[in-house]
Each structure stands twice: as structure tokens, then as C-alpha cells.
Copies of this chain bind each other. A is one copy, B any other.
């Protein structure tokens, strides 16, 4: 069955999130991408635009959540799965819980500051919050991590060459 792509698989949709992450890379943004899927269809796509929008809250997940809500005209993302290439930070995890998707699938983990089990878990083990998501981790994790690592390796090289610009907050400075 090699060579056949399952268009409904987690790997397929994570591949689409990686496409978004590569757009971020091309724009010299930390390469993180996100897609939101409802009943097998992508309803929103976004890449990290912190530098582009000069807005430290413009993480891929936040932009994709707002776009998905616009797409369906409701803040309840029922029957939805959010795919993101890196484990969400506390801001994004908090936003995800508010929007209530059923599942969250991420690529590489963030043991230092991730909020989907890496550092803390806001997605499915917090009694005070009013929604719990099923969480799947490690889907295409190596590709997702490799992209971020490559970005920071290049950034270090630029820094050595005296071309570094300050990095936005909310992202790992090294992975």
C-alpha cells in the first residue's frame, strides 16, 4: 500500500499543518503551522505570524481558531480536530479549551513550556475548565521538530554573521 495517501488520516492533516509551518519559515517566522478539520474537511489554516503582524498573540493556533469560528459561524468547534506542528503554549491551550474542539493532535512536544502535557496540561486534566479534548502527540513529530531545529540553526548562523533580529516571545529559543 506504499505510496497511497489516506486523505482522512492524522498524518495527512499534519502534513497540511507542516505546509503552513513552511510558509512561516519562508517569512522568517518560527515555523509552526496549524489546520482545523471538521468532518474530514479543512475549515481553517494558519501559520505563526508574530513578526509579520507584530502581535505576540498571533500564534498559528490562535489565528486558526478565529478563522475556524468565522468559517462555521459559531464559537463551538464541535466535531473538530486541531492539528498543530508543535505542542501548544498555555495561551493557545487555554484558547483551544474555550473553543471546544474534540481532538488536538500535535507533532513535536515542548517539555519546557508546553501546555498539553509537556510542562502542564490544560487540555484534558484540569477540573476547573469546562471542556476536555482528546490529545494525540508525536504525529510526524520528527519532521515538525526538524523544521524548528533547522530554523534556529539558521538563526544562530545569522546571529554569528551579525544579522540577527530579536526573536518574539512565546516560542522556544532553541529546540
Contacts and interface: CB of A to CB of B under 8 A. Distances in A.
Given A57-B66, A112-B128, A94 B90 contact: yes
A76 B57 CA distance: 11
A133 to B, nearest CB: 12
A3 interface: no
A131 B113 CA distance: 12
Interface residues of A, number: 38
A91 interface: yes
A69 interface: yes
Interface stretch (A30-38, A48-56, A147-155): A48-56
Contact of A91 (B73, B95, B113, B120): B95
A59 to B, nearest CB: 8
A168 B62 CA distance: 17
Interface in A24-81: 50, 54-57, 62, 65-66, 69-70, 73-76
A57 B168 contact: no
A82 interface: no
